[in-house]
Amino acid sequence: MKGRGGVLRSDAATSMVTFSAPVEFGGEPGLWTPECLLLAAVAGCFLSTFAAIAAFSKYAFDSLEVVVHGGIQKADGGWRFTAIEVQATLTVAAVADGERAIAFLAKAEAACLVSRSLSSKVTMIPVVQKVSAGHTTTPS
């Protein structure tokens, strides 16, 4: 790829990812940016870490939705992420089990390799909600 982007390949994945610098920095619109990939790495790591902890603990949950937002600022001669917020919405069969659910979410936050490797502050906003009528909880 020419310009301010490229293609990412990995021996661990069969698909490639085409990326570009953000549009604000002369990149192509509609492509993944390194900044988006970083936030996606935080989300993916949090989700897979939570799923591993839940499976190990035989904790059944219906779903986990993770949305990650990052704040950037120009500091010390360049742009950097200064804050990353992980919004984790866990859907469970009974909200009465909320304390245990929050504890597992906190363990995932503390154990996530990607988040632990970043110098910016990473905070989690946990939400535990009950499965709506018509859905069943399945063990993970």
Domain ranges of the chain: 1-32, 38-130
Q: What is the pTM of this model?
A: 0.87
pLDDT at 93: 86
Angle of the 98-111 helix axis to the 34-56 helix axis, nearest 10: 130
Look at phi and psi of residue 7 and say left if phi exceeds 0, alpha if psi is from -120 to 50, else beta: beta
Closest CA to 138 of 54, 61, 65, 64: 61
Alpha-carbon distances, residue 80 vs 38, 112, 136 (angstroms): 12, 20, 42
Residue 13, token pair as written in the block: 């994945």
User: Under CATH, which number does the domain 38-130 receive?
Assistant: 3.30.300.20
Quick: pLDDT tens for 55-76. 999 999 999 999 999 999 998 8
Quick: pLDDT tens for 74-122. 988 899 999 999 999 999 987 777 889 999 999 999 999 999 999 999 9
